[in-house]
Amino acid sequence: MVSFQRHYLNFLIIKIDLNIYPIVCSINMSTEEKPKTIYYFDEDPGYETLQKITQGYFEVLKLMDGRDMYLNETGMYNLPLNEEASNIFKFKIFGNVAIVGKITENN
């Protein structure tokens, strides 16, 4: 009789009759990684890069910590809700965003 059992330390235990064969698995058994929705830059990455990230024309919001957030200006009409950014900033944000700058100590 053959049976398989996945172990929490990322190896598979195969039992064949009375013999046990542990096999190390190189397969990532975790859930799928989420696509990146927030991009961070210390310095301005340039207009083209920001336009690619935001998927079109963008607007800039000044954050209280001194950084700038770039987001698609019409994202609410054609882009999916960015749950990660919305949870952080406590208002609905649509599409990918770029956060540019360093946190200032004055704020």
Phi, psi torsion values for 61, nearest 5 degrees: -115, 130
Q: By three-state DSSP, how is residue 75 classified?
A: helix
Q: So what's the pLDDT on residue 6?
A: 46
Which pLDDT tens digits describe the chain residue by residue (107 residues)?
A: 444 444 444 455 555 656 554 555 554 555 567 789 999 999 999 999 999 999 999 999 999 899 999 999 999 999 999 999 999 889 999 999 999 999 887 75
Separation between Cα atoms, residue 25 and residue 19, nearest integer Å: 19
Whether residues 87 and 44 share a domain: the answer is: yes
**Number of domains into which the chain is organized:** 2
Please indicate, yes or no, whether residues 53 and 8 belong to a single structural domain of this protein.
no
Q: What pLDDT is stored for residue 103 in this prediction?
A: 87
State the Cα–Cα distance between residues 6 and 68, nearest whole angstrom: 46
Measured at the CA of 106, the angle between CA 100 and CA 107, to 5 degrees, comes to 70
Half-sphere exposure of 36 (CA within 13 A, CB side): 8
Q: Quick check: is 106 in a domain?
A: no
Same domain, 44 and 73: yes
Domain assignment of residue 75, given as a range: 38-100
**Residue 7 and residue 46 share a domain:** no
